[in-house]
Amino acid sequence: MNSKPAKPKKLEDDSKSPPPLRPGSTIGILGGGQLGRMTAMAAADMGYHVHVFCPEEDAPAIEVAKSVTNASYRNENAMARFASGVDVVTYEFENIPLGPVEELAKLVPVRPSPHVLKISQHRVLEKEALNAMGVATTPFRPVNSAQELVAATNALGLPSVLKTAQMGYDGKGQIMIDATRHVPSVWPELKCDEAILEGFVRFRMEISVIVARDILGNVECYCPVQNKHEHHILAETIAPAPIPEALAAKAEDIARRIAIGLDLIGLMAVEMFVTRDDDILVNELAPRPHNSGHWTMDACITSQFQQVVRAVCGLPLGSPEHLRKARMINLIGDDVLNWERHTTAPNAKIHLYGKKEVRPGRKMGHVTFLQENNE
């Protein structure tokens, strides 16, 4: 007798994706900053509720969310209660402790996945993952000691940029090392155990592409935009970037490949350098709405905030097509005190984040100028 063991019965066909979350469902957002605020507003526009989880009691997203949990990301009870009240979770910044997000993902879908978060939290893992997909990045070396720093600067040459592997943003946790520096003494200045040395790129332009991927694997890209930074903080975005069509197509293709390679469900910004030889090097990934995509709120068929809501709720993606060209400026620190002057500017759309305290370097709002007649 030849009796085969019975096949385990499948409870459901796992080739089918789960049905989309219907309006009335609740999106949990980790983080309460302006990106969470604008995501919550887009979610409300589409009939979804938002539950914001963040430690700060006066965070910008709070006043536009239906529910709020003010607790540490490491508060397990608060996280479990949060999970039981939401249908999907997303995040509005990368610097959330990974462990609690991995635990949360056992209880409720987290989109983009904790794997994507893990890669984007660590500059070395991120560059290794990108290179493994055949995507070019700045040349780099992992650095964990003064000795390794010396070896890395010998390999990459000077100038180079030493960055903390984790938790850096807006140029924080970065030291430029040029030939005038005594290299070993730079290491203790960074005050961290894990770092990365990157070759300094003499780029022609900084650009970014915002890419979204839905639950079925469909991908949509916004056009590449040019980003101008002041003191390492984004000051201005020009949309579309003034680059030849072929280069724009190359940038979009890179973003698309990354979204597929990471199995992204959600939205991600890919920051890139355009070199003087028109090569594109990826600098950084941000698996969430991004400051360089704020212009899409006023100039595109689907804003980046609506797009992330669509993607994480399992809806089809909207068109990223832009109806106007646009220029976005950030209102940083004291800039916001002059907000009124933009009220009379033609084609200006003002967005303020409701932050009470003005601090130097703090993003307080932004203004998008829509171009007349698409000139």
Judged by the rule CB under 6 A, the positions of this chain that interact with ligand AMP are 138, 161, 168, 171, 198, 200-201, 206, 229, 232, 271, 283-284
- 330 sits in which H/E element: strand 326-332
Q: Are 286 and 117 in contact (CB under 8 A)?
A: no
Pair 224, 243: CB distance under 8 Å: yes
CB of 227 to ligand AMP, least distance (A): 7
> Min. distance of Cβ 275 from ligand AMP in angstroms?
10
**3-state class (DSSP) for residue 35:** helix
- With contact defined as beta carbons under 8 Å apart, do 101 and 94 qualify? no
Q: Which is nearer to ligand AMP, 74 or 231 (CB)?
A: 231
CB of 358 to ligand AMP, least distance (A): 23
3-state SS of 62-99 is HHHCCEEEECCCCCHHHHHHHHHCCCEEEECCCCCCHH
Give residues with Cβ within 8 angstroms of 132, minimum separation 6.
none
Please say which residue, 113 or 120, places its beta carbon nearer to ligand AMP: 120
Rounded to whole angstroms, the Cα distance separating 104 from 287 reads 17
What values do phi and psi take at 335, rounded to 5?
-50, -30
CB closer to ligand AMP out of 70 and 275: 275
Residue 203 or 339: the one with the smaller Cβ distance to ligand AMP is 203
Q: Token pair of 280, please?
A: 């594109």
**Nearest Cα to 366, choosing from 292, 267, 271?**
292
Smaller CB separation from ligand AMP, 230 or 263: 230
Identify which of residues 208 and 307 has a Cβ nearer to ligand AMP in the complex.
208
Complex with ligand AMP: residue 211 or 315, whichever CB lies closer: 211
Residue 21 or 190: which CB sits closer to ligand AMP? 190
The tokens describing 259, both together, are: 């979204």
Q: Where are the alpha helices (DSSP H) in 122-194?
A: 123-132, 146-156, 187-190
How is the chain split among helix, strand and coil, in percent rounded to 5? 30, 30, 40
CB of 96 to ligand AMP, least distance (A): 17
* Pick 220 or 271: Cβ nearer ligand AMP: 271
Min CB(110)–ligand AMP separation in Å: 24
* 127 vs 322 by CB, closer to ligand AMP: 127
Residue 149: CB minimum distance to ligand AMP, A: 15
The DSSP symbol for 60 reads: T
Secondary element (H or E) of residue 42: helix 34-45
What's the closest the beta carbon of residue 183 comes to ligand AMP, in angstroms? 16
Contacts of 35 (CB under 8 A, 6+ apart): 92, 93, 288, 289, 290
- Determine the length of the chain: 375
Residue 373: is it exposed, middle or buried by C-beta count within 10 angstroms (0-12/13-18/19+)?
exposed
Minimum CB separation of residue 7 from ligand AMP in Å reads: 50
Q: How far is the CB of 198 from ligand AMP (least distance, A)?
A: 4
Q: Residue 280 Cβ, how far from ligand AMP at the closest point, in Å?
A: 14
